Each structure stands twice: as structure tokens, then as C-alpha cells.
Amino acid sequence: MATRRLSATAAAVLTCLLAVAGVVLAVLTGDAGAAAAFAIGAAFGLPSVVLGVLVAVRRPDSVVGLLLVLVGATTVWLTVSDLSASALARRPDLAVSSWYAALSQGDWMFLYVPAALLMLVFPDGRLPSRRWRWAVAGLLVVPTLFTLITAVDPGPFRQPFESIPHPLRLSEPYGPVLGAVALFLLPVFLGLLIASAAAVVVRYRRATGQVRRAQLKWFALGAAFLPLTLLLCWAGYLLLGGPELAVVGLAATALAIPVATTIAVLRHDLYDIDRAISTAVSYGLVTTVLLGFYTAASFVAGLGAGRTSPAVAAAATAVCAAALSPLRSRLQRWVDGRFYPARQAALTAIEGLRVRTHSGQDRPERLEQALREALRDPLLRVGYRLPGASGLVDVAGTTLDPGEAHVAPVRLGGHDIGAIVRGGTGSRELLREVASACALLIEVVRLRIEVSRALDEAEASRTRLLHAGYEERRRLERDLHDGAQQRLVSLGMAIRLAQRHLADGTVDVDDLLDHSVSQLASAVVELRQIAHGLRPSSLDDGLGNALAVLAGRAPVPVRLEVAADDLPEDVAMTAYYVASEAMTNAVKHAGPAAIGVRVHRVAGQVTVRIGDDGPGGATMRPGAGLAGLADRVEAAGGTLRLTSPAGGGTVVEAVLPCVW
């Protein structure tokens, strides 16, 4: 590992020295055009060198980094070689090695060797199998033989080395033989390059993991800039009359291949590569069609007018572009089906479910199952965010915890309504697109869950109120039976007994009447207490007075603020019971130093807020006092909120409608 990292670093240093030598040659030459060409070539070659060193440092177990450095080095070498030829042409007095002149006659083959080797070993630095070792040997041997053959060829050197003496020239009879061998090596070398490209295809077909396939797709995307060069060359001939635009394609290719290779090795999940390839293919096809139509239009216009007419061809192409615009979505679907099948399957599944739901043949709750089948991700989850809730729930209303999985939020109208939780497959970009496409279905399911919950809660609340009514009735029966009823029955029996003994004078009438009055007074007090449990008599003087009486009985100081008078009877009674129950719970469970009660009325609503400075941590448990109080408030059309952070006190707030 250290050797490969050191080799990549050494190659990078040598390339930088070569670039410095190119700068010196540019100064000596004085040719602005050649210097500019060298600067452009170095600018496109050195990034590959830098990225190669980065890959070698991050992945020292792979030879990919070293090959990337060599790819950039060959670009710099090509520009320096051209610059040296220009320098020699302008400055014949410069000393040039005859060996360099001889070997440079056929060294162009080596420019393709690093890229071909990179295709053979990408992305893990190993060959697809041992049978591919012949390709590596051929890529090293064929360029070497070709360079040696051209070096010893008896013919003259190419310009500007024609005046330099030949150090290795063979005699003339060997010329035809060497030419035939060199000519034979050309198709052999072309076959080796094709085999190197085929290695990428073979490796992709054998790949089973998502990571390896994504890496190979990134590499293919970088190599796809070569067809772009052909399109630009075509466009250059059509628009400019020459291949000048091809330089742009070559420059883009020189940058795209090392950048795509680096991303594939270090960050294959940086972007959805399937989406990038699909988009590139779509726009490539559209561009090809438009260029073809422009070419045909130019040809037809030339036949009709006797000369080319760019204006007519451009107008015809504009018409073609307008006609092609409606077909672009179909073209995109066709391309997605072949290059981005996951996206096509997901969007088709969403649209199909939407149509079936609209016709009543399916239910939107099947969205999760449909996406699992389309994306082939059995662990994918669809979460719904209910109003007032901070977390996600599934279609059954159960809390959904995404854990460490990637979550793609679903937004509609600027609000988060749910999320797509990735299981084991699917890129982030794809999940975001899926989340956007299924927003309406998720909103429908979310509303259905909310309505179902509201109905369940209303049913449960009605049941609790019914049980509470039964319990209250039994309590009243028990209190009446054990209290006032027993006193009145006992009083009646005493009076009946006294009636029987009035004639014999054994009954003290005054004492009997005093005792009866006392018993009646006790019964009246007990009846008043029972009636006060149904409706506090202090409410006769208003809610403020009733709360003041309630606060006066509390064992802790109560800060009372009431800004709501003349309330309807039912609203005042509900507000009173909210304050009473909340204060009772605070004194019983929190042990506060003080309690604050605030009642105010604003815009048709009465808000009752009871807060204490206790330890907090209160919860609304089923069957407890606050749960029953919530049912009472909801029955009145209001809402009850409990806020009780640990160590931060407790606040109970009820909001009641009041339109009177």
C-alpha cells in the first residue's frame, strides 16, 4: 500500500517538474499560440494528477490512484512534446537529443495506455480475472514495439526533427518490413483498447452489489463525454465550418473521466448516477435529433437555393424543436425504462395507485407496499406526520422510528406531511422525487388517519363520559342513602314513635321538636353539599367570585387573574372545574410554593390557564383526573393542553368556545 501511494506521489512530482519544463520551453519559444495550447493542456492534465494523488492517499490498496496520475501525466507530456516541437521550429539552435527525436516518432501510443489500464482494473485495482493479463501485457508490449520500430525506421524524422541525426536507423531494405509490422500493430492496439472498454462491460454484468454497479456507472458517465466530443465536432462543422468545438468536448472529457473516477472510488453515493445517466442520454438524443434535422434542413435548403441558408435551416430546426417538445416526456420515459428503471417503476406505481384510488378500485394506504415492490426495497417505510405531533406514524397510527435510515421529507403547501424512509436501496435524489410525486396520496392517507383517530377518540371520550355519569349517579345515590336519606328516615321514625306516646305524656314535645329541627338542619347541610358537587353555589355571583372562594381554601398562595365576566353557565362551570381539578392535582402531586390561575376572554374564546412551580413531569393517564377533565372540555367543544417538562413546573390550559 505504501509503495503504491509513494509511486503515485513520485509520478505527480515528476509531472509537475515536466510542467515546469514546459513553462521554460514556452518562455524560450516566444510563441503565444503554442504557450496558450500548453497552458490549456496543463490545466486539463494537472487536475487528474491531483485527483490521482487524492485517490492514492484515500485508497492506498488500489492502483487506480497511480493510473489517474499517469492519465494526467500523459496529457501534460503531450502538450510539452508539442511545445518542444514548436520551440525547435522557432529556435533551431536549441539542443535536442537525437534519442528523444527518435523515440518521439511513435510514442503517441503510450498516451492511451494509462486510460486503457484504468478501464481494465477499475474500480478495485484488480483485473476481472487472470485471463485478462494478456490485455495488460499487450498494452505494454505493443506501444513499446511500435515506438522501437518507428525509432529504427530508415525514413526521415517528422518535422521539426528532420535535421537531427538518426541514432538507430536501419538500412533501407528493412524499411518495408518495419512498415508492415508497424501497420499490423495498429489494429492490434485498437483491439486492445476495445478489449479494455469491454472489460468495464464484463465487470458490470458480473457485479451484484449496488456499490460496485454505481461505481462502474460513474466511470461510464465520465467516458460518455467522448460521444459529446463527436456531437460538438458535428455542430462545429455545421455552424462554424470547422472542428473547433471538438476542443471543448476533448477538454470536458479530460476533466470528466478523472472527476467521475474519483467520485466513483471515494463518494459513489454523492448523486443519483442513474438519474445523471438518464438525463445525459435524453439530452444527447434530443441534441442528435436536432443536429440531424439541422443538417437535413441545410442540405435541402442548399439544393433549393443553390447555396446554404443558415437562417432557413435555423428556422426549420426551431420548428423541429417545438414539435419535439411534447415528445420529450415520452422520450424521457423510454430512456428511464432502460437507464433508470427504478425511477420509472416508482413513478408508474404511484400514478397507477392514484388512478385506481380515484376509481375506487384500490386504497391509498397501499402506497407503502406499492413503493416496496417498485423499488424492490422490502424495508422501505412510509411515515405520516399528524397535526400537533412531532414524530412519524405508520398507516396504522403506530409511532414510526426511522433510526439511522435516510428520510426524504414529503411537503405539500409548505408543510411537512410525511416522509419516505429508505430501507436498503434507492438514492437520496430518487427518494426525494418519489416523495414529491406521492405527496397527494400521503395527504389523503394522513387525513384519513387523523379522522379515524378523531372518531376513535370521540368514541372513547363518549364512553368515558358515560362511565363518569354512571359513577357520579352511584356516588349521589350512595351519598343520599348514607347521609340525608338516613337522617330523614331516622327523623320520621322518631316522630312516629313520639306520636304514639303523646297520649300517655311520656314524650317531651319541646325536646322532640328541637331534635327534629337539628336533624332537618343536618340533612339540609348534607343536601347542599351534594348539590354543591353538582354545581358550586358560589358561581351564582360569577366565575371570579367562585375562583376567589376556591383560591381561599387552597393550602398554598394562589395568584388569581380573571378577565372574563358574564359567561354562559356551561362555560363558567367548565372553567371552574378545570381550575378546581388542576389546583387539586398541583397541591396533591407537585407540592408547589405557589399556583397561578389566569382566565381571559379573547375573540370568542375563554382561556383558563393554571400553572405551578413544581417539579413537572406530569402526564395525562387514562382514568385519571386530567383525562376526565379533558373529556369534559372536549364535550364543551374546547381543547385541553398539558405542558409539564421535567424540572419546569406544570401548566394546564383549556381553551373553551364562547360566542355569547
**Residues 531 and 623: beta-carbon distance below 8 Å:** no
CA distance 162 to 92: 11
- Quote the cell numbers at residue 476: 349521589
Letter string b/e over residues 609-621, b meaning 16 or more CB atoms within 10 A of that residue's CB: bbbbbbbbebeee
* Residue of 167, 131, 140 lying closest to 151 (CA atoms): 167
Please check the confidence at residue 307 and state whether its pLDDT lies above 50: no
- Taking residues 152-174, report their average pLDDT: 61
* Cα–Cα distance measured from residue 542 to residue 529, given in angstroms and rounded to the nearest whole number: 19
Contact at 8 Å (CB) between 260 and 252?
no
Single-letter residue type at 297: A
What does the alpha-carbon distance between residue 106 and residue 116 come to, in Å, rounded to a whole number? Answer: 18
Question: How many of the other CB atoms lie within 10 Å of CB of 489?
Answer: 11
Does residue 13 have a pLDDT over 50?
A: yes
Angle at the Cα of 538 from the Cα atoms of 537 and 542, rounded to 5 degrees: 120
CA distance 134 to 238: 43
Mean pLDDT of the chain: 76
SS3 letters across 42-102: HHHHHHHHHHHHHHHHHCCCCCHHHHHHHHHHHHHHHHHHHHHHHHHHHCCCCCCCHHHHH
> Is residue 131 pLDDT above 80, yes or no?
yes
Task: Enter the pTM of the model.
Answer: 0.56
pLDDT band for 570, please (50, 70, 90 cuts).
confident
Report the C-alpha gap between 450 and 460 in whole angstroms: 15
The angle that helices 246-266 and 32-58 make with each other, rounded to 10 degrees, is: 10
Q: For residues 189 and 375, give the distance between their C-alpha atoms in angstroms, rounded to a whole number.
A: 43
| Banded pLDDT at 473 (limits 50, 70, 90) | low
| Confidence band of 306 (pLDDT split at 50, 70, 90) | very low
| pLDDT tens digits, one per residue of 361-376 | 888 888 888 888 888 8
Residue 468 near residue 628, CB atoms below 8 Å? yes
DSSP state letter for 558 = E
pLDDT at 160 over 60: no
pLDDT at position 58, please? 87
